[in-house]
Each structure stands twice: as C-alpha cells, then as structure tokens.
Amino acid sequence: MKFIIAIATLLFTGVIAGCSNTKHTTSKTNNMDFQAHRGGRGLLPENTIVAMLSVMDNEKVNTLEMDLAVTKDKQVVVSHDPILNPIITTKPDGTFIKVNELNDNIIYQMEYAMLRKFDVGLKIHPGFPQQKKIAVTIPILSALIDSVELKGVRIGRKMFYNIEIKSVDGKDGIEHPAPNEFVDLVVNLIKQKNTVERTSIQSFDTRPLKVLHEKYPNLHTAYLVEGKNAADVKMKLDLIGFTPTIYSPEFKYVSKETVDFCHQHKMKIIPWTVNTKNEMDALMALGVDGLITDYPNLLKD
C-alpha cells in the first residue's frame, strides 16, 4: 500500500506541476466566494491533499472547504467523519470496514500513526461516479495547509480556507475533544501557519461557535444550518447569541427573504451543497455571496 501511495502521489504531483505555468491572481478578487466542498469530492477523493491542490488550478474557486477531526495523540486531521467511513475506506490489509467494526475505527481513539495506514481514495464511491480513484490517506491539517501554501507561492494564488469543526453534543471525549480544546487546537494551528486572515471556522454545533466568539472574537465564523428551520435566520441566530461572519444554510431553503435578512444583519450567506448549474444560477440570482459545491468544474461554464 505504501508503495502505491508513493507512486500515485508522485504522478499526481507531476500532473499538477505541469498545469501550473500560468500566473494566477490572488483569490477573492470578485464578489462571489466559490468553495470546493471537501476539495471538490465530485472529482477527487474528499478532504485530501491531492483534491485541494488540483482544485487550485480552477481560478473560479476562492476557498477550500474541509472538515476536521482529532486523533488520540491530538493531531488535527482532515476528515468529515469521526469514524473511518466505510463508504470510502480501505483497511491496511486491503479489505473494507464492516458495519459491526465502526466502533473499532473511531478517529479520536486512534493515533495518527495507525490512522495513516488506511486508504480513503481507492474504493469506488457510489454517490460520485466521476470521482477519480487514487491511493491517498487522511491528512494532517498542518500538512495540507503547507502543501496548499507552497503551491500558492508557485502559481501566485493565496487560497482561503473554510474549515469545519465536526462535533456533536454528547460525544465529547468519545469522538472528539470538548469544544474548548477542539477550538484551541484549531486556532493555534492556523495561527502557526499565518492563515488566520484567510480562514473561517464553521460548525453545525453551536458550542464551538460560542467558544470562538468568546475567546477569539476577531476570527471569521460560519454558522452551518440544515433543514427547513434554516429559513428562520432570526431563530437560528438566537441559538448562538451573536452574529457570525457567514450564515451557511442548506441551499434548498434559501429565499430572497433569507438573503435580504442576512445582508441587513451584515452577514454573508453562502449555501451548501450546490451541485447543479441550474441551482447555482438560481441562487446567484437571489444575491447569495458564494456557493459550496462538490463540482467546482461547473463554475468554469
């Protein structure tokens, strides 16, 4: 497996380097914030370095969107799920994770040295048939940022980051650290990498958002919301007790009234996850400030 990963990474890096002769402009030169959801998981394995580096060649994409988990040895890693997702994971022995094995594969109960032995790019994803298959592992956030910043210097772009703290009330100490510790781990890391001004921290969980507001009030925050209640922005804001930088609702529940309310309250509105051209056009016509999509290639059309 290690040999396959090494060869695949070298090949993919070569492809990326070959596409990077053109000088790009700094991101967010326009008013729309186009975000590649999990690095553009419709095209490449989600939340991986190869996906993030590849989508940087799309000049329409301003922001790399990703999710965070924490390992037993306190490494902040890029993963949407607190467990090794059986849909995308291949075990070190080449077999797949079974449903009854999920509790044995919680990331927070596993040191990174073990986690990195699992592959998350070779298994066919039934929801994304266009996704290219490549041997990749779950990356440490610091390594992902280093890779993006290095390529950014080479091609003349500074990417923005939208990173999600994945936490659930009742799972502290089991699937992730408590909000205070989780937030501190993330904020300390982005400070070390000098990316604070280009980073927003998002969550569905109101607890880390409140911690961010109290401890780090100058950081950009994004409030993720889903379901029909997403249309009731006032009610959602009452739950967190402050106005975040960005309101990020499930796209199906965005209306002109939703957009106007956000703008009246000095918030940007960036819906998720918008995966067809017609949906993108309709939302932009309503006046949203950006889009989060699995298919950043649609933005080129």
Residue 207 lies in a domain: yes
Q: Which two tokens stand for residue 63?
A: 């922001």
Helical pair 206-215 and 233-240, crossing angle rounded to 10 deg? 60
pLDDT at 30: 60
The pLDDT assigned to 28 comes to 52
Instruction: Report H helices in the chain.
Output: 2-18, 49-55, 112-115, 141-155, 179-192, 206-215, 233-240, 256-264, 277-286
- 249 part of a folded domain: yes
Q: Is 299 helix (H, G, I), strand (E, B) or coil?
A: helix
Residue 149 lies in a domain: yes
Q: What phi and psi values does residue 106 have, to the nearest 5 degrees?
A: -80, 125
Q: Closest Cα to residue 122, out of 100, 94, 98, 99? A: 94
70 occurs within a structural domain:
yes
Please check whether residue 275 is in contact with residue 297, taking contact to mean a CB–CB distance below 8 angstroms.
no
Predicted TM-score (pTM) of the model is: 0.91
Question: 83 — phi, psi (to 5°)?
Answer: -115, 165
In b/e form, how buried is each residue of 176-208, taking b as 16+ CB within 10 angstroms?
bbebeebbebbbebbeebebbebbbbbbbbbbb
**Which pLDDT score is estimated for 152?**
98
What is the per-residue pLDDT for 10? 43
Q: What is the count of structural domains for the chain?
A: 1
pLDDT value, residue 301: 59
Contacts of 252 (CB under 8 A, 6+ apart): none
Q: How far is CA 300 from the centre of its chain?
A: 20
Rounded to whole angstroms, the Cα distance separating 124 from 130 reads 10
Instruction: Provide long-range contacts, Cβ within 8 A and 24+ apart, for 297-301.
Output: 297/40, 297/42, 297/43, 297/58, 299/34, 299/58, 299/60, 299/61, 300/58, 300/60, 301/277
Res 31: pLDDT: 86
Q: Please tell me the predicted confidence (pLDDT) of residue 142.
A: 98
Residue 53, CA distances (Å) to 43, 111, 268 in order: 12, 26, 26
* Whole-number pLDDT of residue 300: 75
- Distance (Å, whole) CA 251 – CA 282: 10
CATH number, domain with residue 138: 3.20.20.190
Identify the pLDDT of residue 17: 41
What range does the domain containing 249 cover?
35-79+128-300
Residue 86 falls inside a structural domain:
no
User: Is position 111 within any domain?
Assistant: no
- Walking along the chain (301 residues) 10 residues at a time, the average pLDDT comes out as 44 42 45 97 98 98 98 98 97 94 95 98 96 98 98 98 98 98 98 98 98 98 97 97 98 98 98 98 98 95 59
**Within a domain: residue 14?**
no
Residue 103 lies in a domain: no
pLDDT confidence of residue 21? 39
